[in-house]
Structure 1
C-alpha cells in the first residue's frame, strides 16, 4: 500500500501530514504528488472532496522549501486561484497547517473584506498567495501585487471559475506570472474552454483523472420528494425538527430565497444560519464557524457554498430547490458522506423542476428513488432559455439567462430563474464590447474581470467603483 513517504516527501512534511491526521494518500494525491515534485504541469480531473488541496499543496510546499528563494516585496513565489472566498479560506487554512514549522508564509486575498489591509499584508510579499481572481486583479491594478515572481500557478475548481465568468481574468493572470511557471489545473469537469485554457498555458501536461464527472459519493443515500413549491417550507422544517441534533445543509437557488427560508426556520425554533452573496465575509465566516462549533445545526446556503466548504459531520443535505446546472447537484451533496462517513441527500422537486431532475439523473447515471409525491409530467417543466446551456463560456448566454450582465448582447438568454452559482453578474458588465450570441456587453473589454470581482465580493472594477446590486442575482 502506498504511503506518503514513498511519494517523495521530506521528513518535515511527513510530520505535518501526520499532525493533520492523514493516514494514507487518496488516489488524486497518490497520482499527482510525484508529478508535481518532478516539475511537470498537471491537468487534473477530480471531484470536490477527493483531497486535491493536499495533492497540490504538499509537493508545492516541498518545492518552495527546496528552492528557498527570497520573497520579493508585493510578490508571491506561488499563486493559487480559487473561485469563492470559502474555498480560498479553506485552502489557506490547510496550507498554513503544512508550513507551520517552516519559514514559509501563506497569505490569502478575497473580496468582501478591507482591501487596504490586504495591500499592507502584501507589501512585504509572501511565499504562497491564495486568491480569488477578482480581488487579485484589483490588487494588481493598484500595483499592490506583482505576479512576475510566481513560478507556480494552481487553478483549483477551474470549471466553476469558468461558470462564474472568470475566463478573461484567468487568461490575464496566466500572462502575468513568470515565463517559466509550473502550472497545475484541477477541475471537476473538463468543458471545451477549460481544455483550451490548459492547451494554451500548460506545457506537455500530465493528465490525472480519479473520478468521472457527475459521479456522486457512494455512501450518500439519495431520495426525492415531489410537491408544489408552496409546500416545501413546511416539509423541510418538519424534517429538520424531527432530527434536531443532525448537522444539515439546505441549498436554495437565490440569496433572497435562502434568507427567507432561514428566517422561517428560526421562527419555528430551529438553530439556523445562512450564507449567500448579500452576507459580508465576516458574517459568512461566523456562520460557518457556528456550525463547526455546534452553536448552529442548520446552514441555509446558495451554491456559493457547494464547493469550498468542508464542515466535518454534515449528515444531511437538503436540496430545497434543484439547481439549474446539474453539476451543482453533485457538488451540493458532496458536502456530506465525507471521510468515509454516511450521508443523506434529500431533494424537493416542484412540477416545474422536473426537467432539472432529469438532467441530474442523466449526468449521474442514476435514477433518484422517489420518497413521496406524484411524478409530474415533463410538460410541467420550466421552459429553457432560447440560447440553452453551453459548455463553458463563463455562464454567458446560457441556462435560463443566468447572469444579469449577459443579456446585454444580441441573442441573450432570457430564462425564468437565475441560479446564484452563475454568480457575479449583478452589474451591467464593464466597458465596451461587441456582445454577440447571448454574451454580455463587454466580452472584449475585461467582462470576466469585473464580473469576477463581483462574484467574489471584490470591488468590481479597478478603482473601486461598484455596480448597483439588482434583485436576486447574487454574487458569490
Structure 2
C-alpha cells in the first residue's frame, strides 16, 4: 500500500515525500480515505502509530480545496495539553508547507499571555489546534468564531475527559455547526469517551488497529521489586550502572517531582522536575534541555505522558505507578518511538504489587519480577488486593487524604 493509493492530491503527496514518509501506517490506510470521503471516524490505535498524519493529511487537502478568502476557521483540533498542542501544530505546519496556497494554522493554549494569540488570530485562521479552556477564552474575547467549523478532531479524547474538560467540550460543541465531520483519535477509549462519541458521531467508520507484533513499538517492559523507601537509591544505582544518556522518570505528584529531582541534583546528576504548575516558558526550557541532553533525568508527572515526542529516548521509568492502566500505556509510549527500541521500567513495592498486577491484567502482560542485588525488598504486603475500579483502572477502597499522602511522601523523602 502506498500514499498515492489513498486518494491524496499531488500537493499532499509531495508534502508526504518531503517529510520522508515511505509507506502509510495501518491507521493511516484505514482513516485517510474515510476522512476524505467526509465520514465521521472513531479510531483507536496505540501511541506512535501515526494518528496525527492520519487526520492531518486529509484535512489539509480539504482546506486546500476550500476557499481561503476570507479566511474562516474550518478545522478545529482539540487536545488535552499545551505540549500536544505545540507538537501537533508543528507537525501540521510541516505538512502544509507544500500547499499551493498558504494556510494559516494557529496553536492556542494556556499558561502564556492571551494577547499574542489574539494578535495571531487577526485576519482569521484556516486551522486551529487548541486546548479547550484557552479556546473558550478566545471565543469570549471575540478573537474567533466557531460557526464555520466543518471538521472537529478530538485528539487524545480519553485524556481530555480524564483531565476534567467535559464541561468545556460541551460548551464548545454548543458553538459548533450541527452539520460537521467529527473525528475521534486516541490510543484508548474508556466508557466516558465512547458515550461522548455515541452522542456526536453519525454512522462513524470504526477503526481499531490490532496490537500485532509488527504494529507494536519495540519496548522491553520490566518490573523491579524494591521497598518504597529505597526507590531513589535504586534509581541512582541504575543510572550509574547502565549509563543511560536520558531517562524520563514518572511520579505521582509535583511534590515528588521536585523532591526527587533535588535529591538527584545533590548526588551530582543533572536532573530537573517537570509538572503542570510550571509556566509555559519554564516547561519549554526544561524540555529543550532534556531533548538536547543537557539533562540526564527528567522527573515528571503525567503531564509528560502525552504530547511529548522526544527522539530516541532510551528509558522510561515508573517511580510511582500510574493510577490507571490507560496512563501506563501513554507513559511507556514515550520510548520506543519512530521505529526505535526502548526500555520501560516500573518500580513495584509490597503495597503496589496488586495494582501492578491489575495493569498487567488489563494489558495482557506478564513481567517477571526482578530484584537488584543490594536492593532486595524486605517489606511484604499486609492486606489483600482491593477490587478493581472498572471506571478508571485504579484500585477501590479507602482513599487516603491529600494531607496523609503529603505526610507519607515527606516521611519517605527523609529515608531516600
- The two structures have a TM-score, normalised by structure 1, of 0.78
1:416 to 376, 379, 400: 400
Deviation sequence 1:12-59 (CA, Å, 0-9, x none): 222221222211111101110011111111011112211100000011
Which residue of 2 is the match for residue 314 of structure 1?
313
What's the offset of the Cα at 1:383?
A: 6.1
8 Å Cα contact 1:353/1:382 also seen in 2: no
8 Å Cα contact 2:308/2:334 also seen in 1: yes
User: Cα distance 1:148–1:414, how it changes in 2: closer, same or farther (>3 A)?
Assistant: farther
Which residue of 2 is the match for residue 98 of structure 1?
95
Following superposition of structure 1 onto structure 2, how do residues 249-398 of structure 1 map, counting pairs within 5 Å?
A: 249-372=248-371, 373=376, 379-380=382-383, 389=389, 391=391
Equivalent residue of 1:161, what SS?
helix
Deviation sequence 1:395-417 (CA, Å, 0-9, x none): xxx9579xxxxxxxxxxx97237
What residue ranges of structure 2 are gaps of 5+ in the alignment?
403-408, 411-416
Q: Does 1:78 align with 2:75?
A: yes
User: Cα distance 1:374–1:295, how it changes in 2: closer, same or farther (>3 A)?
Assistant: closer
Following superposition of structure 1 onto structure 2, how do residues 10-409 of structure 1 map, counting pairs within 5 Å?
A: 10-72=9-71, 76-102=73-99, 103-211=102-210, 217=216, 219-372=218-371, 373=376, 379-380=382-383, 389=389, 391=391
Distance 2:369 2:198 in 1: 43
8 Å Cα contact 1:323/1:356 also seen in 2: no
Equivalent residue of 2:88, what SS?
helix
Distance 2:318 2:401 in 1: 16
Distance 1:161 1:286 in 2: 25
8 Å Cα contact 1:400/1:414 also seen in 2: no
Equivalent residue of 1:299, what SS?
strand
What's the offset of the Cα at 1:109?
A: 0.7
Point out the more displaced range, 114-123 or 90-99.
Answer: 114-123
8 Å Cα contact 1:148/1:176 also seen in 2: yes
User: Cα distance 1:50–1:417, how it changes in 2: closer, same or farther (>3 A)?
Assistant: farther
Distance 2:151 2:104 in 1: 15
Distance 2:378 2:59 in 1: 50
What residue ranges of structure 1 are gaps of 5+ in the alignment?
393-397, 402-412, 419-470
What's the offset of the Cα at 1:94?
A: 0.2
Distance 1:216 1:298 in 2: 29
Aligned residues: 397
Deviation sequence 1:230-262 (CA, Å, 0-9, x none): 100011112112344522111001111011111
User: Cα distance 1:71–1:236, how it changes in 2: closer, same or farther (>3 A)?
Assistant: farther
Distance 1:288 1:262 in 2: 14
What's the offset of the Cα at 1:3?
A: 1.1
8 Å Cα contact 1:29/1:51 also seen in 2: yes
Distance 1:230 1:172 in 2: 45
8 Å Cα contact 2:217/2:337 also seen in 1: no
Distance 1:381 1:417 in 2: 21
Distance 1:199 1:375 in 2: 49
8 Å Cα contact 2:12/2:98 also seen in 1: no
User: Cα distance 1:278–1:381, how it changes in 2: closer, same or farther (>3 A)?
Assistant: farther
User: Cα distance 1:375–1:184, how it changes in 2: closer, same or farther (>3 A)?
Assistant: farther
User: Cα distance 1:71–1:129, how it changes in 2: closer, same or farther (>3 A)?
Assistant: farther
RMSD of the alignment, in Å? 2.6
Distance 1:83 1:234 in 2: 34
What's the offset of the Cα at 1:101?
A: 3.3
User: Cα distance 1:375–1:26, how it changes in 2: closer, same or farther (>3 A)?
Assistant: farther
- The two structures have a TM-score, normalised by structure 2, of 0.89
Equivalent residue of 2:334, what SS?
coil
8 Å Cα contact 2:84/2:306 also seen in 1: yes
Distance 2:401 2:39 in 1: 43
Deviation sequence 1:370-416 (CA, Å, 0-9, x none): 111459765447868xxx74537xxxxx9579xxxxxxxxxxx9723
Deviation sequence 1:207-240 (CA, Å, 0-9, x none): 0111459x99452111111122110001111211
